[in-house]
Amino acid sequence: MALPLEGIKIIDFTGVQAGPACTQLLAWFGAEVLKVERPGVGDVTRRQLRDVPDLDALYFTMLNSNKKSLTLNTKTPEGKAIMEQLIREADVLVENFAPGALDRMGFTWERLQELNPRLIFGSIKGFSEESPYADLKVYENVAQCAGGAASTTGFWDGPPTVSAAALGDSNTGMHLAIGILTALLGRAKTGRGQKVSVSMQDAVLNLCRVKLRDQERLEHVGYLEEYPQYPNGKFTDTVPRGGNAGGGGQPGWILKCKGWQTDPNAYIYFTIQEQNWARTCEAIGKPQWANDPAYATARARQPHIFDIFAEVERWLADKTKFEAVEILRKFGVPCAPVLSMKEIAHDPALRASGSIVEVDEELRGKYLTVGSPIKFSDFKPNITGAPLLGEHTDEVLGRLGYSAEQIAKLRQNKVI
Ligand code: CAO
Protein backbone atom coordinates (compact mmCIF):
# COMPACT_ATOMS: atom_id res chain seq x y z
CA MET A 1 0.00 0.00 0.00
CA ALA A 2 1.28 3.50 -0.87
CA LEU A 3 2.33 5.50 2.16
CA PRO A 4 0.61 8.91 2.57
CA LEU A 5 3.72 10.98 1.78
CA GLU A 6 4.97 8.81 -1.08
CA GLY A 7 6.08 10.99 -4.01
CA ILE A 8 7.03 13.95 -1.76
CA LYS A 9 10.70 14.76 -2.32
CA ILE A 10 12.53 16.31 0.60
CA ILE A 11 16.06 17.69 0.61
CA ASP A 12 17.31 17.23 4.13
CA PHE A 13 19.99 19.88 4.60
CA THR A 14 19.98 19.44 8.35
CA GLY A 15 22.25 18.30 11.15
CA VAL A 16 22.40 17.32 14.81
CA GLN A 17 18.89 16.68 16.17
CA ALA A 18 16.23 19.34 15.55
CA GLY A 19 16.20 19.20 11.73
CA PRO A 20 16.90 15.45 11.37
CA ALA A 21 14.05 14.59 13.76
CA CYS A 22 11.64 16.52 11.52
CA THR A 23 12.72 14.91 8.26
CA GLN A 24 12.92 11.44 9.83
CA LEU A 25 9.26 11.67 10.83
CA LEU A 26 8.31 12.63 7.26
CA ALA A 27 10.45 9.76 5.90
CA TRP A 28 8.61 7.29 8.15
CA PHE A 29 5.35 8.41 6.57
CA GLY A 30 6.65 7.80 3.04
CA ALA A 31 8.48 10.94 1.87
CA GLU A 32 11.70 10.44 -0.08
CA VAL A 33 14.23 12.16 2.14
CA LEU A 34 17.67 12.91 0.73
CA LYS A 35 20.23 14.00 3.27
CA VAL A 36 22.84 16.36 1.78
CA GLU A 37 26.09 16.16 3.72
CA ARG A 38 29.58 17.58 3.52
CA PRO A 39 31.97 15.20 1.72
CA GLY A 40 34.21 13.29 4.11
CA VAL A 41 32.50 14.82 7.15
CA GLY A 42 28.75 14.44 7.09
CA ASP A 43 26.40 15.19 9.93
CA VAL A 44 28.48 15.78 13.08
CA THR A 45 26.39 13.23 14.96
CA ARG A 46 27.90 10.44 12.84
CA ARG A 47 31.02 10.80 14.98
CA GLN A 48 29.59 12.03 18.27
CA LEU A 49 29.50 9.64 21.26
CA ARG A 50 30.45 6.60 19.21
CA ASP A 51 29.97 3.26 20.93
CA VAL A 52 31.65 1.20 18.18
CA PRO A 53 34.89 2.53 16.64
CA ASP A 54 34.52 3.72 13.01
CA LEU A 55 30.78 3.06 12.87
CA ASP A 56 28.17 5.78 12.65
CA ALA A 57 27.13 6.66 16.19
CA LEU A 58 23.69 5.73 17.51
CA TYR A 59 23.04 9.46 17.83
CA PHE A 60 23.08 9.58 14.02
CA THR A 61 21.33 6.29 13.27
CA MET A 62 18.43 7.09 15.61
CA LEU A 63 17.69 10.38 13.85
CA ASN A 64 18.28 9.46 10.25
CA SER A 65 16.49 6.19 9.57
CA ASN A 66 14.60 5.72 6.29
CA LYS A 67 16.72 8.42 4.54
CA LYS A 68 19.21 8.48 1.66
CA SER A 69 22.58 10.24 1.82
CA LEU A 70 24.29 12.35 -0.84
CA THR A 71 27.64 13.99 -0.19
CA LEU A 72 27.93 17.41 -1.78
CA ASN A 73 30.12 20.44 -1.18
CA THR A 74 27.55 23.13 -1.77
CA LYS A 75 30.17 25.86 -1.54
CA THR A 76 31.79 24.86 -4.87
CA PRO A 77 30.26 26.02 -8.20
CA GLU A 78 29.70 22.39 -9.29
CA GLY A 79 28.15 21.50 -5.94
CA LYS A 80 25.87 24.54 -6.12
CA ALA A 81 24.74 23.55 -9.62
CA ILE A 82 23.82 20.06 -8.40
CA MET A 83 22.00 21.51 -5.39
CA GLU A 84 20.04 23.80 -7.72
CA GLN A 85 19.02 20.83 -9.84
CA LEU A 86 17.80 19.05 -6.72
CA ILE A 87 15.89 22.13 -5.54
CA ARG A 88 14.14 22.50 -8.91
CA GLU A 89 12.60 19.05 -8.56
CA ALA A 90 12.03 18.99 -4.78
CA ASP A 91 8.84 19.60 -2.83
CA VAL A 92 10.53 20.54 0.43
CA LEU A 93 13.94 21.78 1.58
CA VAL A 94 14.67 21.64 5.31
CA GLU A 95 17.68 23.26 6.99
CA ASN A 96 18.86 24.08 10.50
CA PHE A 97 22.24 25.70 9.98
CA ALA A 98 23.59 28.55 12.06
CA PRO A 99 21.88 31.89 11.27
CA GLY A 100 22.99 33.23 7.89
CA ALA A 101 24.85 30.07 6.75
CA LEU A 102 22.41 29.23 3.95
CA ASP A 103 22.38 32.84 2.72
CA ARG A 104 26.19 32.83 2.68
CA MET A 105 26.02 29.72 0.49
CA GLY A 106 23.81 31.67 -1.93
CA PHE A 107 20.52 29.92 -1.12
CA THR A 108 18.47 32.83 0.15
CA TRP A 109 14.68 32.47 0.36
CA GLU A 110 14.41 34.77 -2.69
CA ARG A 111 16.79 32.55 -4.67
CA LEU A 112 14.94 29.38 -3.61
CA GLN A 113 11.67 30.87 -4.85
CA GLU A 114 13.31 31.73 -8.19
CA LEU A 115 14.55 28.16 -8.51
CA ASN A 116 11.23 26.56 -7.58
CA PRO A 117 8.13 28.59 -6.66
CA ARG A 118 6.39 25.40 -5.44
CA LEU A 119 9.17 24.69 -2.94
CA ILE A 120 8.34 24.58 0.75
CA PHE A 121 11.32 25.78 2.73
CA GLY A 122 11.47 24.62 6.34
CA SER A 123 13.94 26.39 8.59
CA ILE A 124 14.90 25.97 12.24
CA LYS A 125 16.86 28.57 14.20
CA GLY A 126 17.43 29.03 17.90
CA PHE A 127 15.48 32.30 17.99
CA SER A 128 12.99 34.01 15.70
CA GLU A 129 14.07 36.83 13.41
CA GLU A 130 12.52 39.40 15.77
CA SER A 131 14.63 38.26 18.72
CA PRO A 132 17.67 40.23 19.92
CA TYR A 133 19.36 36.80 20.08
CA ALA A 134 18.57 35.96 16.43
CA ASP A 135 22.26 35.67 15.55
CA LEU A 136 23.06 33.03 18.20
CA LYS A 137 23.95 29.42 17.56
CA VAL A 138 21.73 27.29 19.73
CA TYR A 139 21.72 23.77 21.14
CA GLU A 140 19.09 21.95 23.18
CA ASN A 141 19.77 23.31 26.65
CA VAL A 142 20.22 26.87 25.45
CA ALA A 143 16.70 26.69 24.05
CA GLN A 144 15.30 25.16 27.24
CA CYS A 145 16.74 28.08 29.20
CA ALA A 146 15.44 30.70 26.77
CA GLY A 147 12.00 29.12 26.36
CA GLY A 148 10.95 29.15 30.02
CA ALA A 149 11.48 25.44 30.73
CA ALA A 150 14.65 25.68 32.84
CA SER A 151 13.46 28.47 35.16
CA THR A 152 10.34 26.45 36.00
CA THR A 153 11.94 22.99 36.28
CA GLY A 154 13.63 21.57 39.37
CA PHE A 155 13.29 22.34 43.05
CA TRP A 156 12.82 25.75 44.63
CA ASP A 157 16.05 25.51 46.62
CA GLY A 158 18.14 24.44 43.61
CA PRO A 159 19.24 26.09 40.35
CA PRO A 160 17.22 26.19 37.11
CA THR A 161 17.25 22.68 35.64
CA VAL A 162 17.03 21.31 32.13
CA SER A 163 14.84 18.37 31.18
CA ALA A 164 16.18 15.18 29.66
CA ALA A 165 13.36 15.35 27.12
CA ALA A 166 14.55 17.10 23.96
CA LEU A 167 12.19 20.05 24.25
CA GLY A 168 14.53 22.23 22.22
CA ASP A 169 15.62 19.77 19.56
CA SER A 170 13.20 16.98 18.65
CA ASN A 171 10.25 19.03 19.82
CA THR A 172 11.16 21.86 17.44
CA GLY A 173 11.51 19.27 14.67
CA MET A 174 7.99 18.01 15.40
CA HIS A 175 6.65 21.57 15.22
CA LEU A 176 8.37 22.08 11.88
CA ALA A 177 6.94 18.81 10.54
CA ILE A 178 3.43 20.11 11.33
CA GLY A 179 4.29 23.37 9.56
CA ILE A 180 5.60 21.58 6.48
CA LEU A 181 2.53 19.35 6.22
CA THR A 182 0.32 22.44 6.56
CA ALA A 183 2.27 24.19 3.81
CA LEU A 184 1.89 21.13 1.58
CA LEU A 185 -1.88 21.28 2.05
CA GLY A 186 -1.75 25.03 1.38
CA ARG A 187 0.23 24.45 -1.80
CA ALA A 188 -2.41 22.03 -3.06
CA LYS A 189 -4.83 24.99 -2.99
CA THR A 190 -2.58 27.81 -4.20
CA GLY A 191 0.11 26.08 -6.20
CA ARG A 192 2.73 28.08 -4.27
CA GLY A 193 5.30 27.01 -1.74
CA GLN A 194 6.18 29.07 1.32
CA LYS A 195 8.80 29.46 4.00
CA VAL A 196 8.02 27.74 7.30
CA SER A 197 10.16 28.83 10.25
CA VAL A 198 10.23 27.51 13.78
CA SER A 199 12.50 28.82 16.50
CA MET A 200 13.62 26.52 19.27
CA GLN A 201 12.75 29.15 21.87
CA ASP A 202 9.17 29.33 20.55
CA ALA A 203 8.79 25.53 20.40
CA VAL A 204 9.92 25.20 24.03
CA LEU A 205 7.60 28.03 25.08
CA ASN A 206 4.69 26.32 23.33
CA LEU A 207 5.19 23.35 25.67
CA CYS A 208 5.54 25.68 28.67
CA ARG A 209 2.13 27.25 28.14
CA VAL A 210 0.87 26.25 31.58
CA LYS A 211 3.77 28.15 33.13
CA LEU A 212 2.75 31.28 31.21
CA ARG A 213 -0.77 30.64 32.53
CA ASP A 214 0.72 30.49 36.04
CA GLN A 215 2.61 33.76 35.55
CA GLU A 216 -0.64 35.51 34.70
CA ARG A 217 -2.46 33.89 37.64
CA LEU A 218 0.35 34.88 39.96
CA GLU A 219 0.08 38.48 38.81
CA HIS A 220 -3.66 38.44 39.49
CA VAL A 221 -3.80 36.69 42.87
CA GLY A 222 -0.24 36.60 44.24
CA TYR A 223 -0.06 32.86 44.87
CA LEU A 224 -0.41 29.53 43.05
CA GLU A 225 -2.47 27.13 45.09
CA GLU A 226 -1.25 23.91 43.45
CA TYR A 227 2.44 24.66 44.08
CA PRO A 228 4.26 23.22 47.13
CA GLN A 229 4.96 26.83 48.18
CA TYR A 230 1.24 27.30 48.99
CA PRO A 231 0.13 28.12 51.61
CA ASN A 232 3.18 27.85 53.87
CA GLY A 233 5.94 29.24 51.62
CA LYS A 234 6.51 32.59 49.96
CA PHE A 235 5.84 33.63 46.36
CA THR A 236 7.77 36.32 44.50
CA ASP A 237 6.57 37.98 41.30
CA THR A 238 7.69 35.12 39.06
CA VAL A 239 6.60 31.49 38.66
CA PRO A 240 8.72 29.39 41.01
CA ARG A 241 10.10 25.91 40.45
CA GLY A 242 7.51 23.47 41.72
CA GLY A 243 9.54 20.26 42.12
CA ASN A 244 7.36 17.33 41.12
CA ALA A 245 4.02 19.01 41.70
CA GLY A 246 1.24 18.33 39.25
CA GLY A 247 0.80 21.07 36.67
CA GLY A 248 -2.99 21.13 36.65
CA GLY A 249 -5.59 21.25 39.39
CA GLN A 250 -4.78 17.74 40.66
CA PRO A 251 -1.97 17.60 43.23
CA GLY A 252 0.59 14.88 42.73
CA TRP A 253 4.12 13.95 43.72
CA ILE A 254 6.79 11.33 43.11
CA LEU A 255 6.64 8.90 46.03
CA LYS A 256 9.09 6.32 47.32
CA CYS A 257 8.29 2.63 47.01
CA LYS A 258 9.91 -0.52 48.35
CA GLY A 259 13.61 -0.57 47.51
CA TRP A 260 14.11 3.18 46.95
CA GLN A 261 17.19 3.08 49.20
CA THR A 262 19.13 1.13 46.56
CA ASP A 263 17.12 1.56 43.35
CA PRO A 264 17.09 5.18 42.14
CA ASN A 265 13.89 4.53 40.21
CA ALA A 266 11.81 2.73 42.86
CA TYR A 267 9.14 5.45 42.80
CA ILE A 268 5.66 6.06 41.45
CA TYR A 269 3.89 9.21 40.39
CA PHE A 270 0.81 9.50 42.55
CA THR A 271 -2.05 11.87 41.77
CA ILE A 272 -4.89 12.95 44.00
CA GLN A 273 -7.79 13.34 41.63
CA GLU A 274 -10.42 15.50 43.29
CA GLN A 275 -13.39 13.54 41.96
CA ASN A 276 -11.78 10.26 43.03
CA TRP A 277 -10.84 11.18 46.59
CA ALA A 278 -13.06 8.63 48.37
CA ARG A 279 -11.73 5.71 46.32
CA THR A 280 -8.16 6.98 46.72
CA CYS A 281 -8.63 6.89 50.51
CA GLU A 282 -9.92 3.35 50.22
CA ALA A 283 -6.94 2.32 48.06
CA ILE A 284 -4.35 3.56 50.55
CA GLY A 285 -6.12 2.14 53.59
CA LYS A 286 -7.43 5.47 54.94
CA PRO A 287 -11.20 5.24 54.35
CA GLN A 288 -11.78 7.54 57.34
CA TRP A 289 -10.21 10.46 55.38
CA ALA A 290 -13.03 10.45 52.83
CA ASN A 291 -15.44 12.41 55.02
CA ASP A 292 -13.02 13.94 57.54
CA PRO A 293 -13.34 17.77 57.21
CA ALA A 294 -9.52 18.10 57.42
CA TYR A 295 -9.16 15.91 54.33
CA ALA A 296 -12.43 15.91 52.40
CA THR A 297 -11.77 18.87 50.06
CA ALA A 298 -8.77 19.98 48.02
CA ARG A 299 -8.67 23.26 49.95
CA ALA A 300 -8.64 21.43 53.30
CA ARG A 301 -5.88 19.07 52.13
CA GLN A 302 -3.54 21.65 50.60
CA PRO A 303 -1.99 23.02 53.86
CA HIS A 304 -0.93 19.49 54.86
CA ILE A 305 -0.60 17.88 51.43
CA PHE A 306 2.96 16.72 52.17
CA ASP A 307 1.79 14.98 55.36
CA ILE A 308 -0.74 13.15 53.19
CA PHE A 309 1.96 12.17 50.70
CA ALA A 310 4.16 11.00 53.62
CA GLU A 311 1.28 8.82 54.79
CA VAL A 312 0.92 7.35 51.28
CA GLU A 313 4.66 6.64 51.31
CA ARG A 314 4.22 4.67 54.52
CA TRP A 315 1.56 2.63 52.69
CA LEU A 316 3.98 2.16 49.77
CA ALA A 317 6.93 1.05 51.93
CA ASP A 318 6.31 -2.69 51.48
CA LYS A 319 5.18 -2.51 47.83
CA THR A 320 7.29 -2.33 44.70
CA LYS A 321 6.35 0.37 42.23
CA PHE A 322 4.67 -2.25 40.03
CA GLU A 323 2.70 -3.78 42.93
CA ALA A 324 1.58 -0.33 44.03
CA VAL A 325 0.31 0.58 40.57
CA GLU A 326 -1.50 -2.78 40.32
CA ILE A 327 -3.47 -1.87 43.45
CA LEU A 328 -4.01 1.81 42.69
CA ARG A 329 -5.26 1.23 39.15
CA LYS A 330 -8.19 -0.77 40.56
CA PHE A 331 -9.27 2.34 42.46
CA GLY A 332 -8.94 4.66 39.47
CA VAL A 333 -5.92 6.54 40.86
CA PRO A 334 -3.94 8.27 38.07
CA CYS A 335 -0.46 6.86 38.62
CA ALA A 336 2.50 5.18 36.93
CA PRO A 337 5.77 3.57 37.92
CA VAL A 338 8.86 5.72 37.31
CA LEU A 339 10.41 3.65 34.52
CA SER A 340 14.15 3.55 33.96
CA MET A 341 15.56 3.62 30.43
CA LYS A 342 16.55 -0.02 30.91
CA GLU A 343 12.95 -0.94 31.71
CA ILE A 344 11.72 1.05 28.72
CA ALA A 345 14.26 -0.55 26.37
CA HIS A 346 13.03 -4.00 27.33
CA ASP A 347 9.33 -3.19 27.59
CA PRO A 348 7.44 -5.71 25.42
CA ALA A 349 4.42 -3.41 25.05
CA LEU A 350 6.54 -0.60 23.59
CA ARG A 351 8.04 -3.11 21.14
CA ALA A 352 4.59 -4.46 20.24
CA SER A 353 3.23 -0.98 19.52
CA GLY A 354 6.26 -0.10 17.36
CA SER A 355 7.32 2.78 19.61
CA ILE A 356 10.64 1.01 20.14
CA VAL A 357 11.99 -0.87 17.16
CA GLU A 358 14.91 -3.23 16.62
CA VAL A 359 16.76 -2.51 13.37
CA ASP A 360 19.25 -4.92 11.81
CA GLU A 361 22.00 -3.11 9.89
CA GLU A 362 24.71 -4.72 7.84
CA LEU A 363 27.66 -3.14 9.69
CA ARG A 364 26.27 -2.49 13.16
CA GLY A 365 24.01 -5.51 13.53
CA LYS A 366 20.95 -5.18 15.74
CA TYR A 367 20.20 -1.99 17.65
CA LEU A 368 17.21 -0.29 19.18
CA THR A 369 15.72 2.90 17.94
CA VAL A 370 12.52 4.84 18.40
CA GLY A 371 9.60 4.17 16.08
CA SER A 372 6.68 6.40 15.26
CA PRO A 373 4.75 7.56 18.33
CA ILE A 374 1.92 8.43 15.92
CA LYS A 375 -0.20 5.39 15.06
CA PHE A 376 -2.34 5.10 11.93
CA SER A 377 -5.16 2.68 11.21
CA ASP A 378 -4.12 2.16 7.57
CA PHE A 379 -0.36 1.63 7.88
CA LYS A 380 2.47 1.03 10.31
CA PRO A 381 5.70 2.90 9.55
CA ASN A 382 8.49 0.49 8.73
CA ILE A 383 11.67 1.74 10.39
CA THR A 384 14.79 0.92 8.38
CA GLY A 385 18.47 1.69 8.99
CA ALA A 386 20.24 5.02 8.46
CA PRO A 387 22.33 5.60 5.32
CA LEU A 388 26.11 5.49 5.30
CA LEU A 389 27.78 8.78 4.40
CA GLY A 390 27.26 9.26 0.66
CA GLU A 391 25.67 5.84 0.21
CA HIS A 392 23.31 7.15 -2.48
CA THR A 393 25.58 9.73 -4.15
CA ASP A 394 26.11 7.78 -7.38
CA GLU A 395 22.46 6.77 -7.58
CA VAL A 396 21.22 10.35 -7.15
CA LEU A 397 23.73 11.91 -9.55
CA GLY A 398 23.01 9.17 -12.11
CA ARG A 399 19.35 10.06 -11.91
CA LEU A 400 20.25 13.73 -12.46
CA GLY A 401 22.03 12.73 -15.69
CA TYR A 402 25.68 12.58 -14.59
CA SER A 403 27.83 9.93 -16.27
CA ALA A 404 30.16 7.61 -14.36
CA GLU A 405 33.16 9.65 -15.63
CA GLN A 406 31.64 12.92 -14.50
CA ILE A 407 30.87 11.42 -11.09
CA ALA A 408 34.46 10.17 -10.78
CA LYS A 409 35.75 13.66 -11.60
CA LEU A 410 33.45 15.29 -9.06
CA ARG A 411 34.75 12.83 -6.48
CA GLN A 412 38.35 13.54 -7.41
CA ASN A 413 37.69 17.28 -6.98
CA LYS A 414 36.07 16.64 -3.59
CA VAL A 415 32.74 18.09 -4.75
CA ILE A 416 31.03 14.89 -3.65
N1 CAO B 1 28.87 21.90 1.91
C2 CAO B 1 29.57 22.97 2.23
N3 CAO B 1 29.47 23.63 3.38
C4 CAO B 1 28.59 23.15 4.28
C5 CAO B 1 27.81 22.01 4.02
C6 CAO B 1 27.98 21.37 2.76
N7 CAO B 1 27.28 20.30 2.43
N8 CAO B 1 27.04 21.78 5.09
C9 CAO B 1 27.33 22.73 6.00
N10 CAO B 1 28.27 23.56 5.50
C11 CAO B 1 28.86 24.72 6.16
C12 CAO B 1 27.88 25.81 6.47
O13 CAO B 1 27.56 26.54 5.32
C14 CAO B 1 28.65 26.61 7.49
O15 CAO B 1 29.58 27.44 6.82
P16 CAO B 1 29.80 28.99 7.20
O17 CAO B 1 29.90 29.06 8.68
O18 CAO B 1 31.08 29.33 6.50
O19 CAO B 1 28.65 29.77 6.67
C20 CAO B 1 29.45 25.53 8.23
O21 CAO B 1 29.37 24.37 7.41
C22 CAO B 1 28.93 25.18 9.64
O23 CAO B 1 27.54 25.21 9.67
P24 CAO B 1 26.67 24.90 10.97
O25 CAO B 1 25.42 25.64 10.93
O26 CAO B 1 26.55 23.44 11.08
O27 CAO B 1 27.53 25.56 12.12
P28 CAO B 1 28.05 25.03 13.51
O29 CAO B 1 28.49 23.60 13.47
O30 CAO B 1 29.04 26.01 13.95
O31 CAO B 1 26.75 25.16 14.43
C32 CAO B 1 24.59 24.64 15.30
C33 CAO B 1 25.89 24.10 14.70
C34 CAO B 1 23.64 23.48 15.46
C35 CAO B 1 24.87 25.29 16.66
C36 CAO B 1 24.00 25.68 14.34
O37 CAO B 1 23.84 25.08 13.09
C38 CAO B 1 22.66 26.28 14.78
O39 CAO B 1 22.58 27.11 15.68
N40 CAO B 1 21.58 25.89 14.11
C41 CAO B 1 20.25 26.43 14.33
C42 CAO B 1 19.57 25.88 15.56
C43 CAO B 1 19.64 24.39 15.60
O44 CAO B 1 19.04 23.71 14.80
N45 CAO B 1 20.38 23.87 16.59
C46 CAO B 1 20.64 22.45 16.68
C47 CAO B 1 19.67 21.79 17.45
S48 CAO B 1 20.12 20.14 17.70
O49 CAO B 1 21.03 20.24 19.08
The pLDDT, as a whole number, for residue 248 is 75
Q: Give the number of other Cβ atoms within 10 Å of residue 68's Cβ.
A: 19
The pLDDT, as a whole number, for residue 247 is 75
Residue 398 pLDDT level (bands cut at 50, 70, 90):
very high
pLDDT in tens, 139-167: 999 999 999 999 999 999 999 999 999 99
Strands of 163-310, DSSP E? 195-199, 252-256, 267-271
Among 156, 152, 197, smallest CA distance to 178 is for 197
The pLDDT, as a whole number, for residue 1 is 75
Q: What single-letter DSSP state applies at residue 391?
A: T
Among 399, 383, 397, smallest CA distance to 407 is for 397
Q: Check: CB of residue 43 under 8 Å from CB of residue 60.
A: yes
pLDDT in tens, 274-314: 999 999 999 999 999 999 999 999 989 989 999 999 999 99
Average pLDDT over residues 211-236: 94
CA angle 197, 42, 21 (to 5 degrees): 40
The residue nearest atom 26 of ligand 1, judged by CA position, is 97
pLDDT in tens, 169-199: 999 999 999 999 999 999 999 999 999 999 9
Ligand 1, residues 70, 97, 129: which to mutate, most atoms within 8 A of Cβ?
Answer: 97
What are residue 285's DSSP bridge partners?
A: none
Q: Which atom of ligand 1 is nearest to the CA of 37?
A: 7
Q: Check: CB of residue 120 under 8 Å from CB of residue 187.
A: yes
The pLDDT, as a whole number, for residue 249 is 77
137: CA distance to ligand 1 center in Å? 9
Instruction: Kindly state the greatest CA–CA separation across the chain.
Output: 87
The pLDDT, as a whole number, for residue 393 is 98
Q: Check: CB of residue 174 under 8 Å from CB of residue 94.
A: no
Q: Which atom of ligand 1 is nearest to the CA of 124?
A: 44
Among 23, 371, 355, smallest CA distance to 181 is for 23
Average pLDDT over the chain, rounded to an integer: 97
Judged against a pLDDT cut of 90, whether residue 357 lies above it is answered with yes
Among 68, 118, 72, smallest CA distance to 93 is for 118
pLDDT in tens, 17-59: 999 999 999 999 999 999 999 999 999 999 999 999 999 999 9
